[in-house]
């Protein structure tokens, strides 16, 4: 991919559409038929990763949301304790460093001031090693980390991060498997992840084909001032990322909540003027999420549900649905990111904002 817009109206849209291709590229040479190849993590990685017994992730913005998803994977699939923190908090508080903890930074640019400062600080605190998941090979984070895992997204110009996020998630799945081999992941579990990754590029293309329905849905948001995004499990960070995208480029105030927290506050805000977006793959938490959705319906909230074909939702008054292809649990967070990116893009178009250069924001925050 080149750094011009091609036939796209905005870089952001072009970058959204590049996702199947850049993910295909980030899988190439790293994914065997049934296993993640040892080369995926670089030569030095194996030596370091076999000694690791816990993970500390540090990042900012969208990259922090990728870290939040990784926590569900690293603890849930690899069986390795994992903490995640925004870099600006991490660097200014006192905490205990557990033995054999790997410090993982995640960054598109590799130059974010707080993330870089966190890495430099961590080197003085007794972490066993550092790894960065990064998109820029010549960056400070890559230079200063013991290990790096490149995201292969290519140049990302739109300030709102899209393809960098989904390629970070792919890289973090590689890390999950590499850790899992020394901990709780069986060979058959690794095979399942690998076959889901093989299917990912085509499923992304299929999901992008929902663009027209999402564009139609976006009309309902143009006159709104607030929106609430709900998800559960690894989809909660996807809801966080959806809310961030909407506020960044359309300037609509958006919040995200793990759906189970709805009744502990945000339900008080729900009425016809507060659209509620729910991400609902067909996973173990589906029934729980459905009851959260009913709570919204009972209060007259307008629901917009992105769901699995087999999830059993039907459109009704007050509830729009868009059905996504059926996907395995492990890659669902990557797939469900796509409609939320497209939704925020189309809402921003309706609002007439500067999609690629939103006011007050910078692509790379290199000062504190
Ligand atoms: C800025 C950008 C975001 C990005 C964040 C972290 O806020 O606008 O898109 O997620 O910085 O940047 P990094 O380069 O470290 O991922």
pLDDT tens digits, 200-223: 999 999 999 999 999 999 999 999
- What's the CA-to-centroid distance between 110 and ligand 1, angstroms? 9
**pLDDT higher than threshold 80 for residue 11:** yes
Q: Rg of the Cα trace of the chain? A: 20
- What's the CA-to-centroid distance between 304 and ligand 1, angstroms? 27
Which atom of ligand 1 is the closest one to the Cα of 161?
A: 9
Across 73-91, average pLDDT = 96
**pLDDT higher than threshold 80 for residue 296:** yes
Helix (H, G, I), strand (E, B) or coil at 304: strand
Across 73-78, average pLDDT = 96
Q: Is 116 in the pocket of ligand 1 (CB under 6 A)?
A: no
Pocket test for ligand 1, best of 16, 61, 139 (most atoms within 8 A of CB): 61
Q: Is 303 in the pocket of ligand 1 (CB under 6 A)?
A: no
Across 341-356, average pLDDT = 95
Across 341-367, average pLDDT = 93
**pLDDT higher than threshold 80 for residue 2:** no
Helix (H, G, I), strand (E, B) or coil at 240: helix
Contacts for 185 with CB less than 8 Å, ≥ 6 apart: 77, 78, 79, 176, 177, 179
Structure confidence at residue 18 (pLDDT): 97
150 φ, ψ to 5°? -80, 145
Q: Could you tell me which of 133, 137, 135 has the C-alpha nearest to residue 103? A: 133
* 15 contacts 163 by C-beta, under 8 angstroms: yes
Token pair in block for residue 309: 């074909």
Q: Could you tell me which of 152, 183, 202, 195 has the C-alpha nearest to residue 73? A: 183
- What's the CA-to-centroid distance between 186 and ligand 1, angstroms? 35
Please tell me whether the interface predicted TM-score (ipTM) of this complex is above 0.85. yes
Structure confidence at residue 367 (pLDDT): 83
How many C-alpha atoms does 88 have within 13 Å on its Cβ side?
9
Q: Could you tell me which of 164, 172, 342, 153 has the C-alpha nearest to residue 245? A: 342
- Rounded to two decimals, the pTM is 0.96
Tell me the per-residue pLDDT of 244-291, one tens digit each, with 9 for 90 and over: 999 999 999 999 999 889 889 888 888 889 999 999 887 777 888 888
Q: Is 132 in the pocket of ligand 1 (CB under 6 A)?
A: no
Structure confidence at residue 69 (pLDDT): 98
Burial of 222 (0-12, 13-18, 19+ CB in 10 A): middle
Which atom of ligand 1 is the closest one to the Cα of 361?
A: 8
Q: Is 249 in the pocket of ligand 1 (CB under 6 A)?
A: no
Q: Is 361 in the pocket of ligand 1 (CB under 6 A)?
A: yes
* 302 contacts 220 by C-beta, under 8 angstroms: yes
Is the dihedral angle over the CA atoms 27, 30, 35, 41 positive or is it negative?
negative
* 239 contacts 231 by C-beta, under 8 angstroms: yes
Across 334-339, average pLDDT = 98
**pLDDT higher than threshold 90 for residue 366:** no
């Amino acid at each position: 991919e080149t750094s011009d817009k091609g036939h796209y109206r905005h870089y952001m849209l072009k970058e959204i559409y590049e996702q199947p291709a850049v993910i295909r590229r980030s899988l190439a040479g790293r994914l065997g038929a049934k296993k993640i190849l040892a080369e995926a993590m670089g030569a030095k990685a194996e030596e370091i990763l076999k000694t690791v017994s816990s993970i500390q992730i540090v990042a900012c913005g969208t990259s922090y949301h990728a870290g939040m998803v990784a926590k569900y994977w690293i603890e849930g699939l690899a069986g390795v304790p994992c903490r995640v923190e925004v870099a600006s908090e991490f660097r200014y508080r006192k905490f205990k460093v557990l033995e054999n903890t790997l410090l993982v930074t995640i960054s598109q640019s590799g130059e974010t001031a707080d993330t870089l400062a966190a890495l430099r600080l961590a080197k003085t605190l007794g972490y066993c090693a550092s790894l960065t998941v990064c998109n820029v090979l010549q960056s400070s984070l890559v230079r200063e980390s013991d290990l790096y895992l490149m995201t292969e997204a290519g140049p990302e110009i739109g300030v709102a991060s899209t393809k960098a996020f989904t390629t970070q998630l792919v890289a973090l799945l590689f890390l999950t498997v590499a850790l899992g081999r020394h901990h709780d992941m069986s060979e058959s579990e690794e095979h399942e992840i690998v076959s889901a990754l093989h299917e990912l590029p085509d499923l992304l293309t299929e999901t992008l084909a929902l663009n027209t329905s999402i564009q139609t849905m976006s009309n309902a948001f143009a006159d709104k001032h607030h929106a609430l995004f709900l998800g559960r499990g690894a989809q909660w960070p996807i809801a966080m990322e959806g809310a961030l995208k909407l506020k960044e480029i359309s300037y609509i105030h958006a919040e995200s909540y793990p759906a189970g927290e709805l009744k502990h506050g945000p339900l008080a805000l729900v009425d016809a003027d507060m659209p509620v977006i729910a991400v609902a793959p067909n996973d173990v938490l589906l029934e729980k999420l459905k009851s959260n959705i009913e709570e919204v319906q009972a209060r007259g909230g307008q629901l917009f549900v992105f769901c699995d074909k087999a999830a059993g939702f039907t459109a009704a008054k007050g509830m729009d649905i868009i059905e996504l292809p059926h996907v395995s649990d492990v890659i669902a967070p990557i797939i469900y990111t796509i409609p939320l990116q497209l939704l925020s893009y189309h809402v921003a178009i309706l609002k007439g904002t500067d999609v690629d250069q939103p006011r007050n924001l910078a692509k790379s925050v290199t000062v504190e």
